[in-house]
Chain A
Amino acid sequence: MADDLVLEMRGITKEFPGIVANDNVSFELARGEVHALLGENGAGKSTLMNILYGLYKPDAGEIRLRGKPHTFTSAKDAIEAGIGMVHQHFMLIPVMTVAENIVLGNEPVREGVLLDEAGAEERVRSLSQQFGLAVDPGSLVSQITVGQQQRVEILKALYRGAEILILDEPTAVLTPQEATELFGIIRSLQADGKSIIFISHKLNEVLQIADRITVLRRGKTIETVPREGATQESLARAMVGREVLLRVDKPPASPGDVLLEVEDLHVVDDRGIEKVSGVSFSVRAGEIVGIAGVDGNGQTELIDALTGLRRAASGVVRVAGREYVHATPREMIVAGVGHIPEDRQRRGLVLEFSIAENIALHDYAEPPAAKWGWLFPARLVERARTLIRQFDVRGGGPLTRAGGLSGGNQQKVVAAREIARDPKVLIAAQPTRGLDVGAIEYLHRRLVEERDEGRGILLISLELEEILSLSDRILVLYEGRIAGEHAGEVSEEQIGLEMLGGGRAAAA
């Protein structure tokens, strides 16, 4: 394999003011190889790929393409050299068909000016058959699933003659079933001699699909290892630089009183469409209840209704026995509901505020933060200093702007604020989205600790693995209804089925 290298990056160094993003990084890719690039957020994966894709110019180092030195100056350059990139966020035009999206920028034409629609569809069809990427060229992009949209992105790259495909966190948006299908596609591309760079921070996936794995940490290549012999533990250690506890160490739950009770809750969204249709469940003290589901099945509306951010159409919410109907966010906060929101940047934090000001977001008007409407910034700072230490927030002090922190540290600020109020119920919505291994480990451990403190924890996540590893009970939300409930051991496949609405049929 080594003598058939399609890409060599040697000694790549890229410095930004104040930081070395890539420090003498080397990376190579053989023909027909899947090479995973593994690293925490900020390890330098994106910088390296942006250099390869012609978006950054390296300060030092050499890129060889099929043995010849090559300098990329733009993405166009890279595409012409046979490099294709599938971004995490798709760049498709929803109102155009699959075929139109794929040929965009390089359209087959009829009579010099007209788009050869039939020809385009034909070429897309043959391409999709060749690689086993089933999509209907005539469908509108807005009408196909996320998994299919990803295939369209891959086809787009192949259409432009890509020999090297960069897949940036490709499974982040997929269900487990879709991810399995994607791996099938990757295998068939591989069999066809394409080379694939698979960027991820999910260890199990990497071990499943990659031939070789290169781990980056703080801009340096830590190791390049073959899949054989690598374990999740060894990779995590290389990524983080210390031993990482991957499995959540969780003593059995000892549930107490019911702290949160939801009865026949109905919630409609802004467009008047019912998104939560008669959901009932309860959360006891000292247990973690996980809600699994594909994005958009009513999770957001459910959380909003429980926290007072949205009026429920009907139904009852009880916190520690007290009933709350059409409560305001403030009433729910006072009732003892803590909330780590799913979008920490849009809702969880005022990015322009300092850490101290953000920590005071719920109780800025109560003593000791304030008295008679007069604010005492020094006291906010004092308390923030304590919580920063307690929750191990790094990257700044109490007066640092929250927007200047990394995602993991931003989330720690949110968690610190919510937990410090000593809530009875803690709603954690996608608490580890976009975070790296170290931060995920911390937050998971913390949630279990808070459970053991006697709080009732409602965990809503799109990451099935997270739900499975943390929850004492699991509910599956599908189209606004509870499609499954599991207290003991349950397989990933069963939940995956229920997430797609197949649970009842399969159970029957």
Chain B
Amino acid sequence: MTPRLQVDELSVEFDTDEGPVLAVDRMSFTVGPREVVALVGESGCGKSVTSMAILRLLPRRASVTGSISLDGRELTSLSETAIREVRGRDVSMIFQEPMTSLNPSFTIGFQIGEVLRRHEGMSRKQANERAVELLDLVRMPAARTRLREYPHQLSGGMRQRVMIAMAVACSPQVLIADEPTTALDVTIQAQILDILRDLRADVGTSILLITHDLGVVADIADRVEIMYAGHQIESGPVDDLFSRPQHPYTVGLLGAVPRPDLLAEGGSRRLREIPGLVPVLRGLPESCVFAPRCTRATAVCGESMPPLARTGPEQYAACHHAGEDSPVRKGIQA
């Protein structure tokens, strides 16, 4: 399977007043046709920066190196005019905040139509007709009357639906969804996830999902990339990674989520804690970035940052002591 989106050795460094900050360090991953890949991590791990780098939406003070290609076409070297053609047509994005990502002074119809007029050369009338179809696709009630409404007249869930309608207007190959359900209520989250599932099945969209919610990942993703402090620390198919996590950070994250469904099976009420704080990286790490918080850390962890190494048929982990937690280790934390 040739990947649609291929990211290779992507690094992003920000120039700040306090010196350079390495936000993303040599990320590599692919998203295949109809595949949902999740970039997972906590605040500040670099997952959003990675997604912004793909569409070249980062400010100038960010220096981006590495390669990003879409169906074999390199995006990093495209001119400003050429990348503008890619944005919204080949790769589009939905954001976490449906409140702030729509323009308050234009109608819903105008904003969805804008993408179609710009990229597909449609007339206003054609764009309106297509906008109704798109709103139906995202299950917006009373689609036709919504065209004349403004964002403030819609609820959060409806705004997110408008965002998705805009994003899929030109049937993009890749949809980047940055925490698409975080600001929404659970019943609305279920609706939005259902729409994304259908888009993948019916339209064949590939989805790069940025999230911190492991439940959402389990629900919709095919493959997972776990990020920590700008580093890809584990990677693999969703079932393997959740059932046999190899990196101590992944083990920690999965243990930190309340799992009342396991209580009946003898699970502990106590949650696994990861002591300490996420570091800010000033430059290339000289030791494992997770070592200061890691229960498995030994002398070798202080000497070098381990690269991703194969731990299973399709699973990789960046750890000197990769492996599942032994029962003894589990006992220490519980």
Answer yes or no: are A and B bound together in one complex: no
> What is the interface of chain B, defined by CB distance below 8 A to chain A?
none
